[in-house]
Amino acid sequence: MFQNLEGKRIPDVTFRTRQNHEWVNLTSEEIFAGKSVVIFSLPGAFTPTCSSSHVPRYNQLVPTFREQGIDEVICISVNDAFVMNEWKRSQNADRVTFLPDGNGEFSDGMGLLVGKEDLGFGRRSWRYSMLVRDGVIEKMFIEPEEPGDPFHVSDADTMLKYLDPSCEFPYDVSVFSREGCPFCVRAKGLLTDAGIEFEELVLNRDYTDRTLRAVSTNTTYPQVFINGQLIGGSDELADWLTKRATRNAA
């Protein structure tokens, strides 16, 4: 049974990091003193759940965490600095700090270093998240001890709801566009002006027209999706944004 360490100080260790091709040692004191930090720890870099869900969502929500007074969001894994830096680059996770726990000292100090020899991983961290204020653990979300790689409570949304149960999450927005499309330019401008982040998918670079037909009966560009809902083109998006502004003002 993993021990919940809420109210206790984090382990005092030294993280061996690589910055600008140089070794840089960072102590727990240097990283956490005087700051409010959200940490999420996971079994390994480049592994499926970690790469597809855990890291991307935390990276997306960093601005929202900052609105809640969080100074830094940190990802920890029992991997070396070279692997962690390359993983961060491949994930485009520029908002999250990646800390290498290469020898597993931090994870061991948390009581969450587990054996994964059956997978050829050796000793790795159990998946968990925690809120640390000035080096003291305020809240922990530890995944249940069950077979496999459970991912139920250490996600970014759960941590954000702990910080503020009434917090509004950012929109998930995708724009299907094509090169040389003025209406696509307008739609992206509308979203940018509204302060809404979006992911752009460009025709014949990121998808083909078959993909668009699979998700929409509309074949004009752009096609904007927000939180799973098809909004439509730039005119429909403008209407949606006007209604949203009216709701927010009410």
33-57 pLDDT, tens per residue?
999 999 999 999 999 888 888 999 9
Question: What was the pLDDT predicted at 13?
Answer: 98
Q: In the CATH hierarchy, which top-level class contains the domain 14-163?
A: alpha beta
- Annotated catalytic residue, options 50, 75, 181, 184: 50
* Chain-centre distance for alpha carbon 236: 30
In the chain, residues under CATH classification 3.40.30.10 are 14-163, 173-249
Q: Band of the pLDDT at 219, cuts 50, 70, 90?
A: confident
Mean per-residue pLDDT, 150-172: 96
75 in active site: no
With contact defined as beta carbons under 8 Å apart, do 227 and 171 qualify? yes
Query: How high is the pLDDT of residue 250?
Result: 75
Please give the C-alpha separations between residue 143 and each of 4, 9, 247, in angstroms, as whole numbers.
Answer: 11, 20, 38
Picking from 42, 7, 10, 217, the residue whose alpha carbon sits closest to that of residue 113 is 42
Does the structural domain 173-249 have CATH classification 1.25.40.10? Answer: no
**pLDDT at site 108:** 97
State the chain's mean pLDDT as an integer: 95
